[in-house]
């Protein structure tokens, strides 16, 4: 039986480090940094770690309805999503994830684009 990406890279602790690296970069981003102003970042990092863990074979699970509800009023555009994906890819690479595993993780994230990006956002 093959390992999930979650198991292969050390589980929650590693995913949490990756998510923290992502948010360090995201906060500096001119494209998406404003989304994280006045946010409880430790709480967001915890939720995002669980979300990312669920996408790469970890134990947490998030329904699409819940993901959509959380992002509904954030007016996230396709450009914002693209920036997030690029930064997340960079964070995965910085933490030593193999190219194929990065592609799998990004594909899982991409599968959520339609419920994260605002329907009326450019």
CB 83, CB 31: distance < 8 Å: yes
> So where are the chain's domains?
5-116
Paired tokens of 43 = 């709480």
Angle between helix 12-28 and helix 41-55 axes, rounded to 10 deg: 120
Give the separation between CA 100 and CA 30, rounded to whole angstroms.
Answer: 29
DSSP structure string for 23-78? HHHHHH-TTTGGGGTT--HHHHHHHHHHHHHHHTT-S----HHHHHHHHGGG---H
pLDDT at residue 1 in the model: 66
In tens digits, what is the pLDDT along the chain, a chain of 122 residues? 689 999 999 999 999 999 999 999 999 999 999 988 888 999 999 989 999 999 999 987 788 898 898 888 888 999 999 999 999 999 999 999 999 999 999 999 999 999 999 877 55
CA distance 117 to 122: 9
What pLDDT score was predicted for residue 87?
Answer: 97
Q: Could you tell me the pTM of the whole model? A: 0.89
Which letter does DSSP use for residue 2 in this model? P
pLDDT at 118: 87
CATH architecture of the domain covering 5-116: Orthogonal Bundle (1.10)
């Amino acid at each position: 039986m093959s390992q999930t990406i979650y198991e292969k890279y050390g589980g929650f602790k590693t995913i949490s480090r990756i998510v923290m690296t992502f948010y360090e970069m995201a906060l500096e981003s001119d494209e998406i940094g404003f989304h994280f102003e006045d946010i409880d970042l430790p709480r967001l990092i915890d939720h995002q770690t669980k979300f990312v863990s669920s996408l790469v074979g970890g134990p947490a699970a998030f329904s699409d309805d819940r993901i959509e509800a959380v992002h509904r009023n954030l007016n996230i555009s396709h450009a914002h999503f693209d920036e997030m994906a690029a930064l997340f890819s960079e964070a995965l690479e910085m933490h030593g994830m193999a190219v194929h595993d990065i592609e799998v993780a990004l594909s899982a994230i991409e599968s959520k684009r339609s419920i994260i990006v605002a329907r009326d956002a450019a």
